[in-house]
Structure 1
Amino acid sequence: MSSPSPGSGVAVLGVAVPTPLRRLFDYRPGAAAPEGGWQPGLRVRVPLGRREVVGVVVECRAHSELPLDTLKPVSACLDTQPLPADWLWLCRFTARYYQHALGDTLHQAMPVLLRQGRPLEARTRERWQLTAAGRDTSAAQLGRARRQAELLELLRQHPRGVVHSVISAQGFARAQLQGLADKGLASATEEPLTAAPAPRQGGLLAEPALTLNREQAAALAALHEGLERYHPCLLQGVTGSGKTEVYLQLIEAVVAHDRQALVLVPEIGLTPQTLARFRRRFRVPVVALHSQLTDAERLDAWEAARAGRAPIVIGTRSAIFTPLARPGAIIVDEEHDGSFKQQDGLRYHARDLAIIRAHREGIPVVLGSATPSLESLVQARAGHYRHLQLTRRASHHAPARLELVDLRGRRRQGGLVPPVIDAIRQALAAGNQVLVFINRRGFAPTLACHACGWLAECDHCDARLTLHRQPSQLTCHHCERQRPLPDACPDCGSADLRPLGTGTERSEETLAALFPDVAVHRIDRDSTRRKDALEQTLAEIRRGEPALLVGTQMIAKGHHLPHVTLVVVVNADAGLYASDFRALEHSAQLLVQVAGRAGRAERPGRVLVQTLHPEDPHLRLLAERGYEALAEQLLEERRAAGLPPYRHLALLRLESPREADATQLAGEAAEALRDWLASHALAVDCLGPVPAPMERRQNRYHVQTMLRSERRGPLHDACAWLVRWLEAQPGARRVRWSLDVDPQTLS
C-alpha cells in the first residue's frame, strides 16, 4: 500500500513489532508528531499487551480494518529522522523471502541499543586546538606554568588538534587544558568517535599498493568497468593468488569516488587481520561490525556507516544490514563459506542478500573464493555473473597437491601414521612450520569401554559425548551438557575405559611428546575463548620459529601463514560420507582451503591427507585434478538428482519434547500442503515428513519436511501458504517450527 506524504491524512500507523506474528499492528499517532511528520522508518515505543516495546513504522494510512477508537496510540516517537529507506526495503525483502516476521527481522537487523530505544546518535570526543591567540603565543610567555607551556607546544605540533584521550595519555590533566582555555589560547570541539575522513594532503593511501601481476590487473580492470552499475563478479583465485590485493585496489577506486565499500568476511577470527591490513593501507576510517564488539561500539560503527563518515565497513554475516549513505561496492570474501548462512531464527544468507542489495542499489558486488559454491559457479557459467580467475600464486609456487596417505592397517600415534610423522620431523628440521588439521576439538570423539563396547552418549541428544582433558570431562557439542569422567563402565563395571578416536587435544599431546623442543600451538574454539587469544597465538606463529600448529577449521580459513610448508590432514573421511547432500562439496572446499595454508611464501608446500578410503573416486579426483574437476562432477550428480543449484529447496523443521506432537503436526502439514498443491496445480514436490538426521537433540525430537521446485515463484507461494496454515493450527502451539528457505544443511 502506498503511503501518504509525511504527516498528511495519517490516522493509522502500521507498526512492525518484535514478535513471531507475521503482520503489522495498527496504532494511532501520538499527540506530538515528529518534526518531519509521520513516515515509514521511524522507531516508536508502543504498548503491546502488558508491556511496551520498540517497533518501526512501516505504513502510514488513513484507514484501519479496526475501529479507530479501539486503537492504542504510540507512546513516543524515538527518532527525528527515519531509518534509511534502502535499509527498510532490504529488511522487508528479507522477511518476505525467508518467510519470517517483519518485526523480528527489523529487530535483528538493528544494533542492540537501537532495539532498546537508544537515540541514533554518535558518541563524541573532545578535540583540542590552539586558538589564533595560542598560535601567536610562545611557551616562554607562560612563565612558571611549565606544564601548560609543554601542552601548548604539543598542540602547536598538531594543527588539526589532538583528542582528549591522547592528551591524557601524554600525562596532562584537565586542569592544564582548562588553564589554556581560560587564557583564550586553546579551545575544544566535539566530534564523533568515528570522525569524518581527514583532508587527504598525503593522498588516500597510507602505504603504496602492491604491483599486480597480469591476471590481477585484468581482474581489476574488469571490476573497474562496472563501478557505476550493478555488476556481479565471481573472483575465483587459488589460495595465495592475491584476491585481497584486488579488493584493496577496487576499494581505493570506490573511496576515491567518494563512495563506501562493504566487505563481508565469514569468521570473527578473520576480522582483526583484515581490519589491520585495510587500516595500514588507507588514511580513511575503517570500521568493524561483528558480535565481539560491545553494544556501544557496534552502534558507533553502524551510525558512522549510515552517516557516511566510514568509507570502509568490514563485518561478518549480520553486517549485510549495515546502512550506507553512499554505497559503492560490496565484497563477499570466501563466498562459499557456510558461516554466511544464519542457522536459527531469521535464517538468511548474507551472500545472497549481498547480491540482492547490490542489484537494488546499482553497484558492483564481488564474490571471492578459491573454491566457489556450486550455486555461484552455475550463475557464472550461465553468464549471470562475470567469472574472473586468478590461477597463479603471488609466491610463484604452484598450489600444493593433495597426497593421499593410506591409513589402513597402520599403527597410529595421536592419529598420525609413521610416514607422516617422518615428514613432520623433516619439515621442522628444515626450520619450517607444520599445520596439523583435525576438525574435531577435544581429546577424543568419545570414551569407550574396551571390555563390553559401551560408548559415552549424551542423555539429551542422539550423539556421543566428546572427551576433554582441559578440563577433564565429557561434553556434548550439540547441547553443551557436561559430565564428569566415570571411574568405571556403567554397563559392566570394567575400569578399562579408553578414548576412541583423535581430537585436537590428543594431537597436541602426542606432538608435544614426539617433538619436545618445538612449540605446539592449538587453535580451536576451546583454546581461543579468551579475548584476543587467537591474535596473540597468531602473532607468535608469525615470528617464524619452527612450530607445530594443531587446529580445526578456525585456522584453515583465510589466515596467511608464510612459514608453513607442510599441512597434514589427520582424517579426511569425517565429512566425506555424511548424510547431507552438500557434505562432499563442503569437505572438498575445506580440504582445499586448509591445503592453501602451505607454501604461501618463498618455499613450496606439501599437503598430506590421511584417509581410510584412498581409492574413493571423489577424493582421488580432488587430489589429482583439483576442485574445479570435482565441482563439475558434483554438478552433474546434482542435476541428475534434482538438487540445488538445479532445484530450489525449503525445509520445514519441527521440534517438540514429545515425539508424537512433532510427528503428528508434520504429517498433517504435509498432507494439507499436498492437497493444496494439487488443487492449485503448482509444480512443487513435498517430501516427507522424516526424522531429522539427528532426531533427538537437547531432549527435543526433530522432524522435517522438504519442499522442492524448479522455480522460486511456486516454491515461495507454497511456503507462504504453509506458514499461514501452521499459524492457524492449535496443535502448532505445542510444537516449535520454522521454515528454512534455501537450507545449506539438512541436519
Structure 2
Amino acid sequence: MADSPAPRVLRIAIPSPLRRLFDYLPQGAPPQGGWSPGLRVRVEFGRRQVVGVIVDCRDDSDLPLAKLKPIQACLDKAPLPGDWLWLCRFTSRYYQHALGDTLAHAMPVLLRQGRPLEARVRERWQVALNGDPARLGRAPRQAELLEMLRQHPQGLTTQVIQAQSFTRDQLKALEAKGLVSCHEETLTGPTPDDSQGLLASPALALNDEQAKALNQLHQGLDRFHPCLLHGVTGSGKTEVYLQLIEAVVAKKRQALVLIPEIGLTPQTLGRFRQRFRVPVVALHSGLTDHERLDAWEAAASGRAPIIIGTRSAIFTPLARPGLIIVDEEHDGSFKQQDGLRYHARDLAVVRAKRHGIPLLLGSATPSLESLHRARTGDYAHLRLTRRATRHAPARLELVDLKGRPRRGGLIPPVIDAIKATLDAGHQVLVFINRRGFAPTLACHACGWMAECDHCDARMTWHRQPPMLACHHCDRRRVIPDACPDCGSADLRPLGSGTERTEESLAETFAETPVHRIDRDSTRAKDALEKMLTEVRRGEPAILVGTQMLAKGHHLPHVTLVVVVNADAGLYASDFRALEHSAQLLEQVAGRAGRAAHPGRVLVQTMHPDDPSLRLLAERGYDALAESLLEERRIAALPPLRFMALIRLEGPREDALTALAREIAGELREQVRSLALDLDCLGPVPAPMERRQNRYHLQIALMAERRSQLHPALEWLAHRLEAWPEARRIRWSIDVDPQTLS
C-alpha cells in the first residue's frame, strides 16, 4: 500500500487564552510515523518561541499558504498518547476553555518547555554471581564495599553507595575484576520479579459489608461500571480500594487513585507501598518538575501500575487503564476554581466511560450530585454502615453558646470535657475553620472594625507574625496603636481563630502539648507529616486545626472532637453552603473514636434549634442529604438541573454593570433565536461584590439538559472574545460551579 501523502498544513494548539488553532507549515524530515496529532512542535508565535501540540493535519488553510510560517522543530519521535489528547479536547469543549491552554495545563512543566518524554535512569550495583574473590587482591576499601553489597542482594544505587563514603572509582575497579555488575533502572524503581508475588504484606480480613461490596465491584472489572461506595468514616473503604486494585494489577492493568489534598499523599503512598511490591508513583504540586515528569512517564509507559495523585492527576496518560478511584469524591478540592475550571471527579466519569473500565467514588458524605445519580440508577450504590472497630460513629452533641462566657472560643462545659478526656490519657481535636488569632479587630469605644481597603471583607488579626491580613486578596498591614476613627486605644479582638484558641488552650492545659495545624503552621516541607507523626505516638495532646485535619487522616488516639462554631454555613447566600458545612462537620466528627475507645463530638452553636442542624445531629448526614435533595428539586437547582456561571469583573462598578446588562440581553436574545430551553438569570452581584479592588457580577444559565447549555456558552465565548468592549473587563465561564463565591 502506498504511503499517504504528507499534509501541507499542521493545525497547532498554542498555549494561549485564544479559543482557536493556528496553521503552520511542516518543515524538515517528518517523524518515523509521519506527521500526526499529538506531536509537540516548537513554533514562532508573535515574538516568542513556544511549544505547541499538533491537533490536525490538513491540505489547506483559511490563509494563503505563502503567509504561513514553518514550524521550527518537531520535539517528539512519537505523539503523546491518544487517550490523553482525547481527554484534553473533551475538557476544552465541555468547560469552554482554549484548547492550547488546556493542553498546557494537562502536561508537566518540562514537557511544556520542550523536554523529551524520557525516563531518567540511575545505576544499580550488585555482587556478580560468578565473581572470583581471589581477584580482589590487597584493596581493603574495595573489600568493605564488596561486603556491603553482599548484604543487599537487591543491589544499591550509586547515590546510596557514595553516601557511605565510597567512590565511583572503587565501583569501577570491582567491576573490572568481575566482582560486581551494574545495570540501569528508571528512578521509579526496578520492575519487580513476578515470582515474588504482587503483595508485600497480606490483605486484611473483610467484614460482611466490605466483602459484599468488593464482590459486586469484581463483577464489573471488565466494563464501565460506576459505583458509589458510601461508607461511614472508619468503615474500611481504603481496604476495599486496596483489594480491588490488587485484582486490577494482577491482570497487568493500571489503577489511578485521586485524593483531595496533597497533605494526604504521604500516608496514602505509605499504605499502598507497604501493601504492593509494584512501583507506586505520586503526582501532585509538591513534586519537583523532574519528579513530576518521571511519574508521568512511568504511567504513560505502563511501568507504574498504581498512580496516586491530586486533582490534576486525572490528566495522567495510562498505557493499560484498568480502574479509576476517586476518594472523598465530595471534596471541593477536586474542582479547579480559576483558569481551566474543570472538576476531576466528573472527568473521571468521562474517562472511565471512554476506556470501558470501572469507576469507584468513595465518601462518607457523598455529594448530592453522586447521591442523585445513585438514586436514579446511573451509579451502583454500595453501603458500608459499620466501622472496622466495634464502636458506632459518634453522634453530634449540640452545645448552646448563647449567654455563656467563652475562653478562646470555648465555653466552660466544653473545657471541662477536654480536661476529662486528657485525664483519661486520650487526645482532643478542636476544629475551628478560621486561621489567625481573631477574625477581626474592633474598637470598643466607637465600633470601628478593621476592614480591607480592597475587598468587602474584614481583615484577620494574626499574632505570628503580628499583622492584619485579608484572606481574600492577601493584603497586609500593621496593627494600629489606636482606633483610626476615634483615637481610642481600646482595640479588642472579635471572635477566635486557630492562633487564639491555641493560646488559650496552652494556658489552660499547660502540661499538655497543643499542636496547631493550619496553612500557616504547615508551610515548611513535611511540617504536617512531622506533627501527625508526633501525635500518633498516642500521648495526651490537643490538636487545633482547620479543615486540613478533617480529610482522611487516621488519628487513632482522638476520642473527643470539639467544633468551635458550626454556624458558618447555616445562613449563607450560596445554596450549596449547608451541604458543604454538613459534609465538613461529619468528616471532622469521623476523626473521633476510630480505634479502641468510643468517640464524642461536641458542636458549639448559636442556633441549636435550627431544623437542619438538628436533623444532622439526630439522624446523620444521609437524612439531611435526602432533605436537601428534595429542597433542590422544589427550587429547580443542581443536581436536578444543570448550571453554568458567567463571572464578570472590572475596576468600575457602573461600567461593569452596564456591560453585564448588555451581555445578558444579547445572551437572552441568542437563547430565543436558537430555541434553547434554558433560563438566563442576572446579572447580579457576586456574594463578595468587591474583591481585590475589582467589582464582581454573575450571570447564571440553568437548564434541564446539558445539551441546552453548551450552544449558548459556545456562542457567548466567541462573542466576548470578539467584542472590543469586553476587553476592558475580565470574564470567565464556570460550567457546573461548586460555589457562587
Decide whether the 8 Å contact of 1:406 with 1:610 is kept in 2.
yes
Matched with 2:46 is: 49
1:480 matched to 2:477? The reply is no
Structure 2: gaps spanning 5 or more residues? none
Higher mean alpha-carbon deviation, 574-583 vs 164-173, is at: 164-173
Matched with 2:286 is: 292
**Distance apart, 1:158 and its partner CA:** 4.6
- Which of 438, 445, 451 lines up with 1:451 in the alignment? 445
State how far apart, in whole Å, the 2-side matches of 1:699 and 1:36 are. Answer: 53
Deviation digits for residues 42-72 of structure 1 (CA, Å, limit 9, x no counterpart): 0000111111100000001111111111110
Deviation digits for residues 470-518 of structure 1 (CA, Å, limit 9, x no counterpart): 1111000001111000000000000000000010000001101110000
Matched with 1:74 is: 71
**Distance apart, 1:678 and its partner CA:** 1.4
State the TM-score, normalizing by the size of structure 2: 0.98
Superposition CA RMSD, Å: 1.3
- Which of 582, 604, 615 lines up with 2:598 in the alignment? 604
Matched with 1:325 is: 319
State how far apart, in whole Å, the 1-side matches of 2:199 and 2:533 are. Answer: 25
Matched with 1:628 is: 622
**Distance apart, 1:156 and its partner CA:** 4.1
CA spacing shift, 1:741–1:137, aligned 2, 3 Å: same
Matched with 2:82 is: 85
State how far apart, in whole Å, the 1-side matches of 2:28 and 2:520 are. Answer: 54
Matched with 1:117 is: 114
**Distance apart, 1:554 and its partner CA:** 0.3
Decide whether the 8 Å contact of 1:195 with 1:309 is kept in 2.
no
State how far apart, in whole Å, the 2-side matches of 1:131 and 1:213 are. Answer: 48
Map 1:272-287 onto structure 2 (within 5 A).
272-287=266-281
**Distance apart, 1:131 and its partner CA:** 4.4
**Distance apart, 1:681 and its partner CA:** 1.7
Deviation digits for residues 346-401 of structure 1 (CA, Å, limit 9, x no counterpart): 00000000000000001101000000000000101111101000000001110000
- Which of 131, 134, 154 lines up with 1:136 in the alignment? 131
Deviation digits for residues 587-616 of structure 1 (CA, Å, limit 9, x no counterpart): 000000000000000100000000000000
Higher mean alpha-carbon deviation, 30-39 vs 307-316, is at: 30-39
Matched with 1:640 is: 634
- Which of 245, 256, 262 lines up with 2:250 in the alignment? 256
Partner secondary structure for residue 96 of structure 2: coil
Deviation digits for residues 189-215 of structure 1 (CA, Å, limit 9, x no counterpart): 222111352113331111111100000
Matched with 1:18 is: 15
Decide whether the 8 Å contact of 2:6 with 2:34 is kept in 1.
no
1:190 matched to 2:187? The reply is no
- Which of 86, 89, 94 lines up with 2:91 in the alignment? 94
Decide whether the 8 Å contact of 2:131 with 2:178 is kept in 1.
no
State how far apart, in whole Å, the 2-side matches of 1:739 and 1:716 are. Answer: 11
Matched with 2:59 is: 62
**Distance apart, 1:7 and its partner CA:** 6.5
Matched with 1:551 is: 545
Decide whether the 8 Å contact of 1:7 with 1:38 is kept in 2.
no
Count, aligned residues: 741
**Distance apart, 1:97 and its partner CA:** 0.2
- Which of 690, 696, 704 lines up with 2:690 in the alignment? 696
Decide whether the 8 Å contact of 2:6 with 2:35 is kept in 1.
no
Matched with 1:438 is: 432
Deviation digits for residues 292-351 of structure 1 (CA, Å, limit 9, x no counterpart): 111111011101111111111000000000001111100000000000000000000000
- Which residue identity does 1:15 align to in structure 2? I
**Distance apart, 1:662 and its partner CA:** 2.1
- Which of 643, 648, 654 lines up with 1:649 in the alignment? 643
1:514 matched to 2:497? The reply is no
State how far apart, in whole Å, the 2-side matches of 1:18 and 1:721 are. Answer: 22
Matched with 2:391 is: 397
Decide whether the 8 Å contact of 2:648 with 2:729 is kept in 1.
yes
- Which residue identity does 1:122 align to in structure 2? A
State how far apart, in whole Å, the 2-side matches of 1:203 and 1:65 are. Answer: 58
- Which residue identity does 2:490 align to in structure 1? D
State how far apart, in whole Å, the 1-side matches of 2:496 and 2:152 are. Answer: 58
State how far apart, in whole Å, the 2-side matches of 1:402 and 1:512 are. Answer: 25
Decide whether the 8 Å contact of 2:135 with 2:177 is kept in 1.
no
- Which residue identity does 1:519 align to in structure 2? P
Decide whether the 8 Å contact of 2:132 with 2:178 is kept in 1.
no
State how far apart, in whole Å, the 2-side matches of 1:182 and 1:544 are. Answer: 53
Decide whether the 8 Å contact of 1:268 with 1:290 is kept in 2.
yes
CA spacing shift, 1:383–1:35, aligned 2, 3 Å: same
Partner secondary structure for residue 252 of structure 1: helix
Deviation digits for residues 152-190 of structure 1 (CA, Å, limit 9, x no counterpart): 334445555432122223332112111112334334222
State the TM-score, normalizing by the size of structure 1: 0.98
CA spacing shift, 1:349–1:171, aligned 2, 3 Å: same
Matched with 2:37 is: 40
Matched with 2:300 is: 306
State how far apart, in whole Å, the 1-side matches of 2:53 and 2:439 are. Answer: 47
Matched with 1:745 is: 739
Decide whether the 8 Å contact of 2:41 with 2:71 is kept in 1.
yes
Partner secondary structure for residue 201 of structure 1: helix
Deviation digits for residues 660-712 of structure 1 (CA, Å, limit 9, x no counterpart): 33222211110001111112221111100011111111111111100110110
State how far apart, in whole Å, the 1-side matches of 2:329 and 2:154 are. Answer: 41
State how far apart, in whole Å, the 2-side matches of 1:494 and 1:269 are. Answer: 44
Higher mean alpha-carbon deviation, 148-157 vs 272-281, is at: 148-157
Higher mean alpha-carbon deviation, 283-292 vs 157-166, is at: 157-166
